[in-house]
Structures are given as structure tokens and as C-alpha cells.
A and B are shown apart, each in its own frame.
Chain A
Amino acid sequence: QSALTQPASVSGSPGQSITISCTGTSSDVGGYNLVSWYQQHPGKAPKLIIYEDNKRPSRVSNRFSGSKSGNTASLTISGLQPDDETDYYCCSYAGRYTWVFGGGTKLTVL
């Protein structure tokens, strides 16, 4: 299956909000309520920040939120902080016990 489509980079100023999109197909993003999002700092393992399209693990800040419309999922980060500057990946269940990731988005906090 093809990777999900994410913008290569997004940017925002401290305190602002940004949104990262993740576009797939009806066979993955649009077919299941199983999009997850991961934050990955350089040299570190990814960290789960959103699952089931819009649910947040208890240990994750409520500044992170997820949504979905059709075949496109979105991650919104509000109240941008310097430590939010890193890479973000979406992932979707794609049926038949397979998963597919997005290409990743680098967030710059100006």
C-alpha cells in the first residue's frame, strides 16, 4: 500500500495553533476510525499522541487534538511551545492486518 500523504513541513509561532494533514484513501484513513499520530524527537523512539482518530492518551497534553473528514485526518497543536518542534507521523490501519504510515511532517516553531 502507498504511504499516507503529509506536508513535508509546517511552521508556527509560539502560542499559535497549527494543523498537520494526513491524506489517505477509503481503504485506510477513510475506511476505519483507526488513525494514530506519533511525535518523534531526533534520535528517539516515536511517542503515541493520538489514537482512534481523536483520542488522547492520558499522559499527553490536551494541546494535541485529532480529527478526520473523509479520507483526510488532521492533527492540531494549540499553544505552540518550543519543545513541540520535531517530527510528526500519522498512521492508519489499512485492513487485512496491515498498517501504513505517512511520510512525516517537520514542525518548526519560529
Chain B
Amino acid sequence: QVQLVESGGGVVQPGRSLRLSCATSGFTFSSYDMHWVRQAPGKGLEWVAIICSDGTKNYNEDSVKGRFTISRDNSKNTLYLQMNSLRSEDTAVYYCAKENDYDAFDYWGQGILVTVSS
């Protein structure tokens, strides 16, 4: 079955960096676009970033442009999110999500909490 498992979260000071990973299995990872979606405590879902299946194109939501970088290693079936210059407003549960053939997110990880605090 399809599985997505995030790791790498934790508590980090403002201005510091963190890298999230999302290990996947149960599907042909290299055939699908992948996303990161986040959810601040008690708030709604917010789309963060997309990377195309072959890794050649990626796009971010405006508030993380220039600070967050999405990447993937198709040989390891793993998705990444490098987060630099972290701010308190980046505090959230971060989900990796697989995109289906119809621009929807059909499988999600369990989520990983990132807390930005001094």
C-alpha cells in the first residue's frame, strides 16, 4: 500500500534552518509530482510547494519563496523540504502529499511538527 512518512521536524530558533524528509513506498515515486502542505496550530491547510516528477521544475507559495526549497531523490523514493531563515509563522505541521493524475492530493503523510521558537 502507499505510504508516506515524514521526518526531520522539531524545535528550531528563528533564523535557523531545518530539512524535512518524506520517505515513500507503494507507488512509482518517479512518476508523480509531489507537494508539501502545512497547517499552523488550530488553522487551516496551506499549500507550500510542488516539485515535478523528474525534479526539473519546482514552485513555491509566495511567503516561502527564497527561503524554502523542495527537492527529490527518485533513486531513494524520497522528497525533501529545505527550510532556511525560519520564522515563527512557519510553525506548523508539515505534510508531504502525492498528486494524482488530476491535480489533487490523493495520499498524505502523517505530518511532522516544526516549531520555530527562541
Contact = CB atoms under 8 A, between A and B. Distances in A.
A38 B45 contact: yes
Contacts, number: 66
Given A45-B95, A96-B59, A101 B46 contact: yes
A1 B46 CA distance: 11
B44 A91 contact: no
Nearest to B47: A99
Give the bracket for the number of chain A residues in contact with chain B.
Answer: 20 to 34
Nearest to B96: A45
Interface string A40-75: 100001111001100101000000000000000000
A45 to B, nearest CB: 4
Contact of A36 (B44, B104, B111): B104
A38 B100 CA distance: 14
Interface string A85-105: 000010101001111111110
Contacts of B109: 45
